[in-house]
Amino acid sequence: HCPRPGQWYSTPEGYVLRISLVDRECQKVVCEPLGRNYRVNMPLIAFRSGKNMKHLGGAA
């Protein structure tokens, strides 16, 4: 299962991230932390494992 733009995830540290872009070629995900004005790049594998990132909802 793969993250998609518009979905929300929480990290083990308790941050909430909104997916804004999934780059399958580069195997990276661009996310926006909730309430912040910047974006972070994360490896796609972090979302695929299912242990690290929890899907909170958003676009199905």
Residues of the chain with confidence (pLDDT) below 50: none
What is the C-alpha to C-alpha distance for residues 44 and 26, in angstroms, rounded to an integer? Answer: 9
Determine, yes or no, domain membership for 45: yes
Task: Please name the residues in contact with 36: beta carbons below 8 A apart, sequence gap of 6 or more.
Answer: none
Determine, yes or no, domain membership for 30: yes
Task: Please name the residues in contact with 57: beta carbons below 8 A apart, sequence gap of 6 or more.
Answer: 7, 8
φ, ψ of residue 13 in degrees (nearest 5) = -85, -5
Query: Per residue in 23-32, pLDDT tens?
Result: 999 999 999 9
Determine, yes or no, domain membership for 49: yes
Domain count, the chain: 1
Q: What is residue 10's DSSP assignment?
A: E
Determine, yes or no, domain membership for 13: yes
Determine, yes or no, domain membership for 44: yes
Determine, yes or no, domain membership for 42: yes
Q: Which domain holds residue 53?
A: 7-58
Determine, yes or no, domain membership for 32: yes
Residue 49's pLDDT is what?
Answer: 74
Residue 59's pLDDT is what?
Answer: 62
